[in-house]
Structure 1
Amino acid sequence: MAEHYRFFDSTADDERVYTADEFAEYFRRVLTDGIFNGGTNLKVETNGTDIRTYIQPGYAWVQGYMYKIDTEPLYLQHEYPDPNLDRIDRVVIRLDKRLEHRYVRAFILKGTPASSPVPPLLMRDENVFELSLAQVRIIKGKSYIEGPQITDERLNNSVCGLVNSLIQADTTTIFNQFQHWYNSRTVVYQQEWADWLAAATTQFGKEWTDWLNVRKKEWADWFGSVQTNGFISVVDKSITYNIGPGGDYVTLQDALHALRTVRIPWNVVVTLAIKEGVHSYSQLVEVNHPDGNRIYIQGADPIVTQIATVGQVTGVKGEWLVPVTVQSSAGMKVGQYAIIKKTTGTGDHYAHQGVWEIVSISSNLVTVKNLRRVNDLFPASTVTGGNFTVLPTTIKCLNGSGFRIWPGRSLGLIKRLAIIGMKSNAGSAIVATSGAAVDVSEIGVVGFSYGIRAREHSHINAYETVASGNQDIGIFAGTHSSINASGVIATANGYGISANDGSNIYALSSVASGNNTNGFFASKNSHINASSSIASGSLIGFYATETSSIYATGAVSYNNIGGVRSRASSAIDASLAVVTQNESYAFLAEDSGSIYAPQSKVSDTLSPSGADYRALRMGLIYCNGFVGTPTFSPQLNVEGNHNAMITDRVV
């Protein structure tokens, strides 16, 4: 039988050489696998703003090999979620002894989307051994990860565990002796405990009741004193304050100032109801309340009707006069703002969608002023129907800015308001900054630099919001922020919907029309989910650049200069997309950008020199199952244009 021994120095006549695995085998006899110490050592966490997780600094021990993250957290990028099913990923430390690898590194094991997802299995064989630090649940359609989605597995010995010594003494005899003594005394101790507990329960019960009665009286006395001396007050039930001339407060600023010393419990809502009419504010509305998430700001009930027809458009760009025949104009007034959405018809009828000022009313003929600035001619179209919603409450922001949510604060709701800027020297209609959060719904914002803006790790829920005629961007998320913008409309802005600098926007079923530059624009490691959305009448409909991505399955890009464009190592999923009547190209992938466009439909690209599918400089387009007879540059399945490729081959 062979004998093995190690480790000894070499001599000139007897060289002793040892492998890395022989050293690891030595340590495997001494220490178990796992992480050192627990605490935050190699703990998996998230910023809650994107689809990444990160591992805290620390040490691990894997089959005798050491792993270390030194001073800064290690960030790992998860793949984006499935639109319909959850999945569970695992964050693992992998030892790989194969010659082509020879490392210990952190990886993400991607799970399989399912109605009841399970985590992927760990790999453990003679060459590869994995420790699981955490499970991460990737929720369907959600473009960021929050803390509750992470399950810590570091202390689970079956998949990770803590490093322990394998050197132990045999304590079996000592344990058996202790067990015999313990069993013999248990009956005696149990009876003594029962007797003591019965007596103590009676005594402690009386003492507890007496103590509690004293504390109740002290609390009642204190609460009464602070209520009367004006130092602080507490709202004990939900309440509504009317805002405007003759109301509880003249302005929103007055109401928020009065609430500054009022605590709002978790089960109470304070509603600031702004009366119908035009309210002109010369100061910014700032929300800086610790219980701001329980403050709701809302306007009067909207007037809702349907569009019958739209007549001949007159005027000039930026001031188009659009006559709209509605089923009923009852209650509408000149100077109010109307939201037009969900239009039906032919041609670029999306150009009519947005929030527009009412300039005249004659019976059921209501004329609105459309601020579209693209081209000298208004797009030809026929409108056969749509929603026409008038917002009776208007806030005019004379200083150029609307609402600001202070860093780290939140506001529960802004609803049913037309928020109007001054166009020049304008800030943002609603801005959340430095970790702030706000929900908005059924509002229209017009005439600012930015319509809805989240920046510096902030979040905005902006359901059914409409941004029109804003100089720079209608809906904007920047610096690792996020916006849930399902069903929004962004028309006649500089950019329509834009995410920048590691930010995310969820813009399912949204419309971006008639914007001066791009409809949907993602840049600098950002992501937009624009499934089933529509981009029309802009420079580029859907555009991703600088390692960004857009999810545009089932989307429509119509009547733009360019339909869908991906560049600079970015990616766009345009499966089932319809791209038609764009001037220069339907799809363009360039500079290592890629477009995944199976079953896409392309028609009527207007420029004779353009190509429907175009790839340049290592760009890649996959278009298996394309519909129609499009043109290609380079030719289909032939490399060209500086190592670019367009292919319909199944991969």
Structure 2
Amino acid sequence: MVEVYRFFNSTEGDERLYEADDFGQFFQNFLSNGFFMGLGVSPEGGNMDVIVSEGSAFIEGYDYANTDDLTLTHDSADAQYDRIDRIVIRLDRRQEERTIHAAILKGTAEGDVEAPELTRDDYIWELSIAQVLIEAGKSFIEDSQITDERGDRDVCGRVERPAKINDQVHSVDIKRPTTRAYQYHHEASAFYIHGDNQSEIFQEWLDSIGIDHYYGRDLSDLRMYVETYASQTDTGIQTVTIFDWAHQQNYQIYGKFNRASNRLGADLTWGSWHEEVLEAERVESSAGSYCIRYTNGQQVCYHSGRSITGVSNSVGALYRTQAQNWVVPSPFLEGSGVYVSITTTGNNRWAAVTGGTSDGETIPYRVFSAESDPSVNTDIRIKAEGRWR
């Protein structure tokens, strides 16, 4: 069958019959699998029972509700090994069952303990609302043995808009930066742009903001999330977040920008973009120095606690230390200019930068004094400001 349509009344000679699965498939267009509310798991106390609280869930288009506290009993613990059981809400569409129940999915007692896999096929679909650690030789369950899994989208999650609708939002509903506020969905809306397979429109948004670089990445590595709160009166607020998703263990936000549209002036187009400056990265050295990189390209580096002994080298009426070099933990953009301030401890002493920082990595300085004192320590504090990109 190529086309599917439903639901219609039967007429004489044209009977229209529908299965429960037809309704389940229909409802999946609007709601994802997950829990609506409740269904928390807690120990009864002093035994191997757990309590599932009142609550409700939605699985593959089917509705489930638990209207009172429900007691489930775990099998006894193994004498030697721990095991992990799961508390699941199980949809069973097999002809002999046709039920949804809360149940215990028993794990395996072993040295390298793992939670049991959920069943998700054409007949049985399980949501895990909790893991319960059954400790070896223990005859009762405590709070510390229960791990709430309701918030984990991979195994449960809260009921929301289904993934197939979200996929449409992230592709079909993408708009260009010139789109007026009234052309957006009334109130809140959002879409996602991929720097690889949507590079042309991604570049349009970068050009609109005035970004002429890719934050040291390839364009294909970048992602953009555009959130808009708009009304039909052509007023709105828009936020663009640019981030890197190429390496999920190194997730970084590179920039966040805002703009607004209003009806106060004759021109109802969007206003100028304004960057919301965020801390992009913090780089530390073993010597106690550290640098903070900001999303607007600025960098501030700090160094404190370095002790220098002896201000004894004479230069005319002044005394000075040997030349010192501070290697910053994170280099500045070469040739961009770095502003440096240095403070010292001790009477009649001061410090100064004694050379350029053209390489962006090394800041040369000396401590000066009006009198020779080869034995007293001088503590140095340095702050350097410039650009890292």
TM-score (norm 1): 0.28
Higher relative contact order (CA closer than 8 Å, sequence separation 6+)? 2
